[in-house]
Amino acid sequence: MKKILVIGSLNMDLVAHVPHLPHPGETISSTKFQQNPGGKGANQAVAAAKLGGNVAMIGRVGADDHGKVLLNNLKQAGVDVTEIQQEGTTGMAFINVSQDGENHIVLVPGANHQVSCADIDDCIQLIQESDFIIMQLEIPLDVVEYVLNIAAEHQNEVILNPAPGRQLPAKMLRMVHTLIPNETELQQLTGMSTATIEEIVEAALFLKSLGLARIIVTMGDKGSYLLNDDLQVHIPAVEVIPVDTTAAGDSYIAAFAVGLTKGMSDLESAEFATKVSAIVTTREGAQPSLPTLAEIV
C-alpha cells in the first residue's frame, strides 16, 4: 500500500465548552471541560490511519504524561511512531468551543518547536520511501522548508496544510504539490480578499499560477473548492448540525490523501474527504471525533 508520512505537531487539547466565544476583556464560565489528544499533525496522522492509510509520523512530544497519551493514541490508530522523539514538554492547545461548534485556539508549542532539520536527517530513508508527505505549520518553518527541498529532490508529493495561516515565500510554495488552506489561511497567504467564492477562486488561481498541481480550499459549511490542471469544481458540504468543528480540516486533508493512496481521482478523494469531515463536526474533540472507514457511507 502507498505510504503516507505526516511531519508535524502533537498537542494535548484543553477544551472549554462555552456559551459563546469570549469578546476581548470578557470573562465567562465554561459549561464543560475536556482534555483530548490533538495537534494538527497528530490529528491528520490518526485520521489517515483510521481510514485505512499506511501512516508514519515524525514529530516531538515531551517526556511527560501528555506525551504518553498522545503516543498511545497514535499507536492505537495504527500509526508508526518510531520517529517521534520524547523530550521536554508536550505542546498544548487551549481551545474554546461555542454552542454552535465554532472554536478559538491558542497554542503553547512546547516540544513541537524543538523539531529540527537534524530530526529530518535522521529519517531520510523513511522520507524517501513515502509516497505522500503531509505537513502543517505548527513546527518551525525552516524544517518545513528543509523537507520541501528534500521532497523535491526525491519527487515525493507534498501536501501542505498552511495552518496556522501566515505568508509564505513563493520559493517554498513552488515546491508544494497540493496546498489545502481554509478561506482565512488563503487570505493570509495571498493578502487577497476571500469573502466570496469568486474571490476564493481568484486567490487560489493566483497561487496555482506559481506551479502547484492542486489547490483545495476548505470552506466549512460552504464545502470545498478543488482546482487542478483539469478541474475547477465546488464540492458542496454534507448538511449536518455541527457540535464541534475542531479537526474537521485535519480530517479532510487526511481523507483526501488516503483517497489518493487508494487510487481515487482528485474529485473522488475530495468527495470522500467531505463526508469524513462532516462526521467529525458532529462529534466533540479532535482525535476522539475521527471516524473509521466503516463509518463512512
| Catalytic positions | 250
Q: According to the binding rule CB under 6 A, does residue 247 interact with ligand RIB?
A: yes
Cis peptide before 164 (omega within 30 of 0): yes
CB 129 within 8 A of CB 58: no
Q: Using CB under 6 A, which of 80, 83, 119, 138 touches ligand RIB?
A: 138
For the purposes of burial, counting CB atoms within 10 Å of the CB of 196, is it exposed (0-12), middle (13-18) or buried (19 or more)? exposed
Instruction: Identify which of residues 53 and 285 has a Cβ nearer to ligand RIB in the complex.
Output: 285
Tell me the C-alpha distance between 126 and 136, whole Å. Answer: 18
Residue type for 120, please?
I
- Considering only residues 77 to 136 of the shown chain, the ones binding ligand RIB according to CB under 6 A are 93, 105
CB 18 within 8 A of CB 28: yes
> Interface mask (CB under 6 A) for ligand RIB, residues 39-58, using x and -?
xx--x---------------
8-state DSSP, 20 = S
- Considering only residues 12 to 41 of the shown chain, the ones binding ligand RIB according to CB under 6 A are 13, 38-40
Using only C-alpha atoms, what is the Rg of the chain?
Answer: 18
Name the residue among 76, 145, 144, 134 with its Cα closest to residue 112: 144
Least separation in angstroms between residue 39's CB and ligand RIB is 4
Using the contact rule CB under 6 A, the part of the chain among 7-15, 228-236, 276-284, 288-296 near ligand RIB is 7-15
Q: Using CB under 6 A, which of 114, 178, 246, 251 touches ligand RIB?
A: 246
Instruction: Identify which of residues 37 and 223 has a Cβ nearer to ligand RIB in the complex.
Output: 37
Instruction: Identify which of residues 37 and 259 has a Cβ nearer to ligand RIB in the complex.
Output: 37
